[in-house]
Structure 1
Amino acid sequence: MSEGKLSELISPEAIVNFETGAIKASTLDSIINLLPFEMGFCDADDIFRWYSNNPDRVHGRRKEAIGCHVLELHPRVAHHVEKLLNDFRSGARDDWEFWFPKRSGEEAGQIYQKFMAVRDENGKYLGCMDVTVNIDLFQGKEGKNTPETIDEFIAVNPK
């Protein structure tokens, strides 16, 4: 499998069609990198294939990890990861989520992580997707959640 952005693999102007609409490959690349969370994917053979490249990642990722077996990437918790993937593969589970404190050396805070079985329309297991969110981004926000005027919006979101 080639590395690179979707827009480099198929063409920046290529249109990617979804059930809910269509978007240019180059725009989709940009959107994925703007999301306030990070994502990763390992295929049905447990090979790590992709991760979003958000600028403020919670988990450091290395491009060298692409193509590696996911158990090699998590040796300390390999038995837990293996059970989770086997449960996804067998259909015993469809998702698994947890919260944990940020790792040592970082400021205090919490991380949310969810793993989800990816299946096709017939239920065939295609792999596992993970989403990681720095919960601190959403806690302790002051002000209204829904400003009623543009002036209130600017006051809550100064630049």
Structure 2
Amino acid sequence: MTKIKNRKEVVMTEEKLSEVVGPEAIIKFETGTIKASTLDTIIKMLPFEMGFCDADDKFRWFSNNPDRVHKRRVEAFGKSVLELHPGVAHHVKKVLDDFREGKADEFEFWFPKRNGQPGQIYQKFMAVRDENGKYLGSMDVTINLDILKDKEGKHAPETIKEFQELKPLDK
């Protein structure tokens, strides 16, 4: 198991976690352990997007899902989120100020897809705080709500009994 003796700021690059700490490095959480390379893979395949800006409102991280709703660039790392969202900067500033001041812990909304595409997007922003309540930054989660629609040929059971009666999928 890799232990980091001296904590230091990691410079944001295009490298994956597993490339920085090593693919076999074990990341220990309260709820278990996982290899860095496995965590990189899991984050990339989640059916939603995530992003993080630090306590100084600087954009620091995003999940690199292949079908993102919001396109992100590594060139945005270290830039102010207000600079990255000039059209709605006053709204973003209000949310982040409320998080920082402890007036709110989350903010969520739905909006239509852009470019005339049918469908809705759900976005939730959450204050990230340490165990003592100190504000560390903000995390956002974005979900294309189309994933919740009943897909052709698939049936969403409405009761637990229906679910239990489902036959295994043929391979």
Give the TM-score, by structure 2 length.
0.85
With over 3 angstroms needed to count, the CA separation of the structure-2 counterparts of 1:110 and 1:153, relative to structure 1, is: farther
With over 3 angstroms needed to count, the CA separation of the structure-2 counterparts of 1:34 and 1:148, relative to structure 1, is: farther
Count residues with an aligned counterpart. Answer: 153
Match 1:125 to one of 113, 135, 141: 135
Residues 115 and 128, structure 1, Cα contact 8 Å, conserved in 2: yes
Question: Which consecutive residues of structure 1, in runs of 5 or more, have no partner in the other structure?
Answer: none
Provide, for residues 65-96 of structure 1, a one-character-per-residue CA deviation record: whole Å limited to 9, x for no partner. 11111100000000000010000000000000
- Measured in 1, the distance between the counterparts of 2:168 and 2:65 equals 25
Moved segments of 4+, more than 3 Å: 144-149
SS at match of 1:45: coil
- Measured in 1, the distance between the counterparts of 2:48 and 2:145 equals 10
Residues 77-88 of structure 1 mapped to structure 2, 5 A cutoff: 77-88=88-99
Tell me by how many angstroms 1:147 deviates: 5.9
With over 3 angstroms needed to count, the CA separation of the structure-2 counterparts of 1:144 and 1:14, relative to structure 1, is: same
Partner of residue 100, structure 1? 111
2:154 is the counterpart of 1:154: no
Residues 14 and 25, structure 1, Cα contact 8 Å, conserved in 2: yes
- Measured in 2, the distance between the counterparts of 1:91 and 1:32 equals 29
Partner of residue 8, structure 2? none
Aligned CA RMSD, in angstroms, stands at 1.5
Partner of residue 62, structure 2? 51
After alignment, is 37-46 or 63-72 more displaced?
Answer: 63-72
Residues 15 and 22, structure 1, Cα contact 8 Å, conserved in 2: yes
- Measured in 2, the distance between the counterparts of 1:57 and 1:130 equals 13
Residues 147 and 153, structure 1, Cα contact 8 Å, conserved in 2: no
Provide, for residues 7-31 of structure 1, a one-character-per-residue CA deviation record: whole Å limited to 9, x for no partner. 1111111000000000000000000
2:26 is the counterpart of 1:11: no
Give the TM-score, by structure 1 length.
0.91
Partner of residue 144, structure 1? 156
2:44 is the counterpart of 1:33: yes
- Measured in 2, the distance between the counterparts of 1:110 and 1:35 equals 18
- Measured in 1, the distance between the counterparts of 2:135 and 2:169 equals 46
Tell me by how many angstroms 1:148 deviates: 3.6
